[in-house]
Amino acid sequence: MKKYNLIGYILLLIGFIFIPQVHALKLENITVLNANDSYKGGTPEVVGNGTSNVTITYNAANLKIVPADMGIGRTIDAAWVGAQIVAPKDISIETLKQATYKSGNSEDQLFWNSQDTLKQDYNEQSKPHFINVFGAVIEEHLEKATIENKMITYTWTFDWDHNGETDQTVTMKINPTGVVLQAKEDDTVLWNFDKYEEVKKANEEKEEPKEEEKEDKKDDVPKTGDVVGASAIAFMSLLLSGIYLMKQYRK
């Protein structure tokens, strides 16, 4: 028996040596960005930095609308907050050229074609390769999030090794309660905590009818006795009409 046990241990050891081991990617830390340098947007909370699931939460943000610029991806006038995502350094250039990412439910995009380092001709393996991703914040987004009692949320997913599976997810959340949003032309405040309270209160009043409206609706509902009485009268009318017609037919 000892002989067979020894053979078993040897085979097990050989298996550990020769079976391909799963290579875990070493994920890099992300850096929080803001499109407008003069409005840093507060200090967000970053959870899980350098892991497969990173969450950036703005519970307080001082933001300013900046003009749209299609040349750099700003599709609308908005405040833009985002993150710099660095590719893992331990994957080859060949693999990185096939790596994909997407925003929300959008189509996959090639990371290589979108990276900011490409503009500086950083093609060496030793150089960092990264992209800057941004989410727009406008007054309409803040109002919608307040009414739905949610945060403005943007999500980006990355398949770094091009195997069809998500290797990293970066989620950014903006809490409408703590945002101060200013117009691009001047320092006019478009949104702050007072505006949040105003929108929230208006929505609650819209959803819940006032007490007098509830009473009016109660009065409009027919009582059970009234319904039964009306049904009895209708039945008797039909019965008498039937008897009268039968008498006329016999004549």
Q: 188: helix, coil or strand?
A: coil
211 belongs to a structural domain:
no
DSSP states of 201-218: HHHHHHHS--HHHHHHHH
Q: How far apart are CA 208 and CA 132, in angstroms?
A: 43
For residues 46-63, average pLDDT: 94
Which tens digit of pLDDT belongs to each residue from 96-137?
999 999 999 899 999 998 886 555 555 555 578 899 999 999
Nearest to 154, CA basis, from 78, 88, 89? 78
| Residue that wins the pLDDT comparison between 210 and 17 | 210
Looking at the structure of the chain, the number of domains it has is 1
218 belongs to a structural domain:
no
DSSP β-bridge partners for residue 168: 158
Share above pLDDT 90 across residues of the chain, in percent, rounded to a whole number = 47
For residues 12-18, average pLDDT: 45
Nearest to 27, CA basis, from 158, 164, 162, 165? 158
**Residue 87 domain boundaries:** 31-205
Task: Report pTM.
Answer: 0.71
48 belongs to a structural domain:
yes
53 phi, psi to nearest 5 deg: -130, 110
Which tens digit of pLDDT belongs to each residue from 62-90?
899 999 998 888 899 999 998 999 999 88
14 belongs to a structural domain:
no
17 belongs to a structural domain:
no
